[in-house]
């Protein structure tokens, strides 16, 4: 049996260049758009998620200090960021540790940037909040998630749940 243990560490890349600094990243929450139905044959009200349709995604990044590099993320326009990590898994049958590469690719746009505080012998704890227009996840080189609302794509584990809708729309 194999168990995922912990994310050992990660590196943040901005437009293919590794970010030189320590950061924490809060990944987007995926909330499905919902419709509710009531009427004949329904006892009360029922809520249904709309396949592949989601609320706006956001992520946040906390920087140890305000730097020119961290502030560059607040410039208008899209930025491509990658989070490349190493996860430690345990193979309980073989008793060995397995290192699994994980990667998230996001196309983001700045929503807010907090320059943090200025204090002696302290980090500034700067932070930014970003609209996520595209999110792709990989584990061990295999894509498991591809959410791209602007291109009408919602793929999980190799199944594109909006492919039929795109065909029906003539796309």
171: pLDDT strictly greater than 90: no
Average pLDDT over residues 19-45: 92
Strands (E), the chain: 2-14, 17-18, 23-26, 32-37, 46-54, 57-63, 78-91, 96-114, 126-139, 142-148, 153-156, 159-160
Structure confidence at residue 6 (pLDDT): 95
Arithmetic mean of pLDDT, 3-23: 89
Does this model's pTM top 0.75? yes
The pLDDT tens digits for 80-135 are 999 999 999 999 888 899 999 999 999 999 999 999 999 999 998 999 999 999 99
Domains with residue ranges and CATH for the chain: 2-28+56-168 (2.30.110)
Q: What is the pLDDT of residue 60?
A: 96
For residue 71, name the pLDDT band (cuts at 50, 70, 90). Answer: confident
């Amino acid at each position: 049996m194999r168990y995922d243990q912990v994310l050992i560490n990660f590196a943040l890349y901005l437009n293919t260049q590794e970010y030189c600094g320590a950061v924490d990243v809060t990944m987007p929450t995926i909330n499905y758009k919902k419709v509710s139905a009531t009427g004949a044959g329904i006892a009360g009200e029922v809520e249904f998620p709309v396949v592949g349709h989601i609320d706006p995604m956001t992520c946040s990044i906390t920087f140890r200090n305000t730097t020119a590099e961290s502030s560059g993320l607040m410039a208008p326009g899209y930025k491509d960021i990658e989070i490349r990590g190493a996860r430690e898994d345990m193979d309980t049958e073989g008793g060995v540790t397995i290192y699994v590469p994980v990667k998230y690719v996001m196309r983001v746009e700045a929503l807010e940037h907090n320059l943090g505080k200025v204090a002696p012998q302290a980090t500034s704890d700067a932070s930014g909040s970003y609209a996520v227009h595209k999110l792709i996840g990989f584990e061990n080189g295999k894509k498991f998630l591809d959410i791209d609302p602007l291109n009408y794509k919602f793929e999980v584990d190799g199944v594109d749940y909006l492919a039929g809708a795109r065909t029906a729309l003539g796309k």
